Amino acid sequence: MNLFKLLYTISSKVFMLIILVLISLIFYFTIPIKTTKTVVLPKGSVTKVVEHLKQQGYALTKLDTYLLAYVLDAPKSGTLLIGEEKMSRIDFLKKLSSAKEAIDIVTLIPGETRPVFLEELAKEHKLNVTKLEDAYSEYASYKESGIMPETYHLPKNISEKKLIHTLVAQTEKKYKALALEHLKQYDKKEWLKILTIASVVQKEAANNEEMPIVASVVYNRLKIDMPLQMDGTLNYGKYSHVKVTPKRIRTDPSPFNTYKNKGLPPYPVCSVSIEAIKAALNPKETNYLYFMKNKSGVHDFTDSYGQHLRNIKKAK
């Protein structure tokens, strides 16, 4: 009888202890934690990650370290997307173990120039434009068109150098694949000419369908040593969105002025799409030497100067 009473007393106390522990754990894990929408975590062990968070003001303990190491998944390194700014401790730990890397979206549109793109990139993502330019000079193979127009997904808080290196590396991979497909080799001197022609096509064509025809005009004029005389080549660099006027044509002394200089510009005018590159690689076979934008917003092409003058008159 006394033994039964003793066992009952012990079991009651153990049960109460378990209840108290459970209540304490529930209370512990429901304590609110203030955080930020993104959290930057270092590479290394869970212990190192927890220590880093404690230095940032997070009141974490050895119990949290144990849970992340043995119960939940260990957090990834980098800038992680947490989302909410206030949550319970257990939700915060779950977020840490499952959070994906936060990303920034960077978009370069076809026909944009390097200086304008890098300046806008610096403003939008709070980066240093000089560092971006320096990184571009270090990694890009071409003064312009070194980055292919596309939408890129990049980790948040990426450095200027790594950002440019990533964009250029992805571009080079695509350039090489296109060159091998169409030219059987990736010779950068040869590819520079293709990119330069593609950039003229990019600036001049009204749509993708016109690109091979515009490319044929470029090649036809080059073949007979006729100046390109194309406005789009004057939309280089900082002049990307500046209207080309007769005065500008008369006064611009740069080698991009194809009214004053025969041949191609010294390097591409702008970023070029795959469609523009393919047009430069495979121009349509025509005798066209002239084109004029009509009232419908597309171009009328001709090999006759007299017809070209009539097209100009018709477009007014």
**Lowest-confidence range among 17-31, 93-107, 222-236, 302-316?**
17-31
Q: 11's torsion region: left (phi>0), alpha (psi -120 to 50) or beta?
A: alpha
Cα atoms found within 13 Å of the Cα of residue 7, Cβ hemisphere only: 4
The string of DSSP codes covering 172-229 is: HHHHHHHHHHHHSS--HHHHHHHHHHHHHHHHH-SSGGGHHHHHHHHHHHHHTT----
Give the gyration radius of the chain's Cα atoms: 31
Which pLDDT value is given to residue 68? 79
Which pLDDT value is given to residue 46? 83
The kind and range of the H/E element at 315 are helix 305-315
Question: CB of 191 within 8 A of CB of 179?
Answer: yes
Residue range 47-64: mean pLDDT, rounded = 83
- pTM score, whole prediction: 0.78
Which pLDDT value is given to residue 292? 95
Which pLDDT value is given to residue 162? 94
Question: CB of 68 within 8 A of CB of 96?
Answer: yes
Going by C-alpha positions, the residue among 223, 230, 220 that lies closest to residue 286 is 220
Mean pLDDT of the chain: 89
The tokens describing 181, both together, are 């497909």
Band the pLDDT of 32: cuts 50, 70, 90.
Answer: confident
DSSP symbol at 99: P
Band the pLDDT of 5: cuts 50, 70, 90.
Answer: low
Report the distance separating Cα 298 and Cα 138, nearest Å.
39
For residue 99, pLDDT over 70 is answered with yes
Band the pLDDT of 3: cuts 50, 70, 90.
Answer: low
Which pLDDT value is given to residue 9? 65
DSSP symbol at 72: S
Residue range 27-34: mean pLDDT, rounded = 72
**Lowest-confidence range among 7-11, 211-215, 247-251, 295-299?**
7-11
DSSP symbol at 101: B
CB count within 10 Å of CB 186 equals 14
Using one digit for the tens of pLDDT, what is the confidence trace for 172-227?
999 999 999 999 999 999 999 999 999 999 999 999 999 999 999 999 999 999 99
Which pLDDT value is given to residue 213? 98
Using one digit for the tens of pLDDT, what is the confidence trace for 272-297?
999 999 999 999 999 999 999 999 99
For residue 134, pLDDT over 90 is answered with yes
